[in-house]
Amino acid sequence: MKKYSWCFIIVLIAVSCREEAVPKPDDLLSKEKMAEILYDVTLINSVKGVNKSKLEETNMHLDTYLYEKHEIDSLQFLKSNNYYATYPMIYNEIYGLVEAKFQKERTDIGKQLEAEQKRKDSIQEAKKEERKKNDTLPKPQFTEVKKK
C-alpha cells in the first residue's frame, strides 16, 4: 500500500509541475524586442534618478514615450514581462542582450571621449606653439659667472 501511495504522490508532483504558472500570451514580445524595451526602461529609470525634478518641470511622460517608441501597450509589455519572468534562464538571456548593448554603448562613448580629449589636447598644443611664435621678447641668455 505504501508503494502505491508513493507512486501516486510522484505522479501527482510530475503532473502538477507541467502546468504553466503564467500562460503564454498571444501577443508575446520576442526576446530581442524585450531586450530593447528593457534597455530603454533602464535608461529611463537612470534619468529619473538623476534629474527627476527636471522631468517633473517639463511634464515628460517617459512611459508613454516608451510604449509609442516600441509600438506596444502597457498590457502587452506586462504580460510578456511576467511570462519571461517565470522562465529565469530565458530572462537571463534577455538581460544578457541588454548588458551587451550597454557594454557596446560604453565602448562607443569611451572612444568618443578619447577622440574629444585628443582634439582638446591638440588645440592646447597649437595654442602653446602660437604663443611661442608670437613671443617678441628675446629669450634670456644666461652666462656662467666664473669665481675668482
For residue 118, what is the enclosing H or E element? Answer: helix 88-134
For residues 43 and 10, the answer to whether their CB atoms sit within 8 Å is no
Give the distance, in angstroms, between the CA of residue 54 and the centroid of all CA atoms in the same chain.
Answer: 21
Please give the model's pTM, rounded to 2 decimal places.
0.65
C-alpha grid cell, residue 75: 498590457
For the chain, the structural domain boundaries read 29-116
Summarised one tens digit per residue, pLDDT across range 49-69 is: 787 777 777 777 788 889 999
Report the distance separating Cα 134 and Cα 11, nearest Å. 93
Report the distance separating Cα 93 and Cα 89, nearest Å. 6
Given pLDDT bands bounded at 50, 70 and 90, which one contains residue 8?
Answer: low
Q: Is the pLDDT of residue 121 over 60?
A: yes
Summarised one tens digit per residue, pLDDT across range 93-117 is: 999 999 999 999 999 999 999 999 9
